[in-house]
Amino acid sequence: MNKFIFVGCDLHDKNMLLKIAHDRTPATKRSFGNDADGRRALIAELKKRSAEAGGARIVFAYEASGLGFGLHDELSEAGITCHVLAPTKIARSEKHRKSKTDEKDAERILELLRGHYLAGNPLPAVWIPDKQTRDDRELVRARLDAQEKCSTVKTQIRTLLKRNTIAKPKNAGAGWTKTYRNWLKALSECDAPLACGARQNLASLLRQFECLEDEVHTLDVQIVALSEAPRHAANVKKLTVLSGVGILVAMVFITEMGDAARFANRRQIGAFLGAVPSSNETGESNDRKGHITRQGPPRLRHVLCQAVWNRVRFDQHEKAVYERIAAKNPKHKKIAVVAAMRRLAIKMWHLIQVKKPA
């Protein structure tokens, strides 16, 4: 029979609270600092316990958070099996939510590990991308964040104009045309109709917008260079053949999906995207479908939605399919958009997956 040292960890910025148990024995509590010295002491302590237990296998787990996968990497390099769990997939009772402590969280993670290794229960672990994929994500996500900040500044400018009851001139055209920008610049420099404070606010927002536009352009150049790297070039070439899919959409898809081979079928793709309807079935009532789960990466859903609108606009086949689905329920055209997003993601997955030899 295998012997295990189970470790449930509640991880924070500055410390780690652990619950450690040997097989089915009662757990003991330990704490370590979440720094280089603390992690070295943690690894030494676990290896000491393993040796005292006759070489028991160490299994460690903690919840995914903004702290990333650094602890996972260090433990794996030390030969310790480490799982990172999805917090949203860990069932918690109402009682637990009202009485939540670090020690109870660590105990809960420990019991999930025991249930998985000793009883075969499913473990809500997340997929860990390799370091190169994580690094590529940093650049792609920076580009999306910069564009989002641009949109925020645009909204702030429109709101400022509304507060001061100033309407956009009719000859400015639709969108952020050169004429519209020149009008905004002139508005921030003349004495009327805006008062001094509002003019200074508008001038500040315009400067921010120009800086962000320059940053978006810089990041676009860097993403093009990344897309031409040997590890991405072939897949980007395959994906950009699809209408509505440019280099940015392709790179977001590749970096957020990671290893395409980890998905077995189209259902798993839809579930990963969070683009499948939620289900509520209890007792004798029928299965009721609700809004999409939105459990996947929101960045990927965002760019897929943009790509779908381009496909509907310029691809006659996609337009016909969209209109057929939308016609069934004109008040809920989002259903047709989500269906198109799911179809596009599945097509993209088929193009980049590498089938394993039989």
- Window from 89-103, 127-141, 156-170, 317-331 with minimum mean pLDDT: 89-103
358 is a domain residue? no
pLDDT for the residue 331: 78
Contact, 7 vs 61, CB < 8 A? yes
pLDDT for the residue 171: 85
Specify the amino acid at residue 179.
Answer: T
**Spatial distance between the Cα atoms of 213 and 149, rounded to a whole number of angstroms:** 10
Same domain, 342 and 263: yes
Selection from 23, 34, 30 nearest residue 74 by Cα: 34
Mean pLDDT for 303-312 is 94
106 is a domain residue? yes
Residues 6+ apart with CB under 8 A from 123: 61, 83, 85, 112, 113, 115, 116
Mean pLDDT for 243-247 is 95
What tokens were used for 196? 């001094």
pLDDT at 282 over 50: yes
144 is a domain residue? yes
pLDDT at 285 over 60: no
124 is a domain residue? no
In this prediction, what percent of the chain has a pLDDT beyond 90? 77
Same domain, 208 and 247: no
What values do phi and psi take at 227, rounded to 5? -65, -20
pLDDT for the residue 287: 56
Same domain, 343 and 244: yes
Give the helix/strand (H/E) hosting 38. helix 36-52
Same domain, 218 and 181: yes
pLDDT for the residue 355: 58
Same domain, 139 and 36: no
Q: Which residues of 303-326 are buried (b: 16+ CB within 10 A; e: fewer)?
A: bbbebbeebbeebeebeebbeebb
Contact, 138 vs 44, CB < 8 A? no
**Spatial distance between the Cα atoms of 221 and 308, rounded to a whole number of angstroms:** 24
Number of structural domains in the chain:
3
Mark which of 91, 119, 147 sits at the end of a domain.
119
pLDDT for the residue 280: 60
9 is a domain residue? yes
What tokens were used for 305? 């939605």
Q: Which residues of 12-38 are buried (b: 16+ CB within 10 A; e: fewer)?
A: eeeebbbbbbbeeeebeebebebeeee
Residue 38 domain boundaries: 4-119
291: left (phi over 0), alpha (psi -120 to 50) or beta: beta
pLDDT for the residue 358: 46
Q: Would you call 72 exposed, middle or buried from its count of C-beta atoms within 10 A (0-12, 13-18, 19+)? A: buried
User: Which residue has tokens 């959409």?
Assistant: 249
Same domain, 196 and 97: no
343 is a domain residue? yes
**pLDDT tens-place string over residues 34-89:** 999 999 999 999 999 999 999 999 999 999 999 999 999 999 999 999 999 999 88
126 is a domain residue? no
pLDDT bin (cut points 50, 70, 90) of residue 169 is confident
Mean pLDDT for 127-131 is 94
pLDDT at 318 over 70: yes
Contact, 157 vs 176, CB < 8 A? no
The overall longest dimension of the chain from CA atoms, in Å, is 84
Same domain, 153 and 191: yes
pLDDT at 354 over 70: no
pLDDT for the residue 72: 97
pLDDT at 137 over 90: yes
Mark which of 190, 209, 227 sits at the end of a domain.
227
Same domain, 339 and 245: yes
338 is a domain residue? yes
pLDDT for the residue 245: 96
Same domain, 237 and 196: no
Same domain, 305 and 329: yes
Mark which of 119, 145, 178 sits at the end of a domain.
119
pLDDT for the residue 89: 85
Radius of gyration over every alpha carbon of the chain, rounded to an integer in angstroms = 26
In this prediction, what percent of the chain has a pLDDT beyond 70? 92
**Spatial distance between the Cα atoms of 206 and 1, rounded to a whole number of angstroms:** 68
Same domain, 56 and 21: yes
Q: How many residues does the chain have?
A: 358
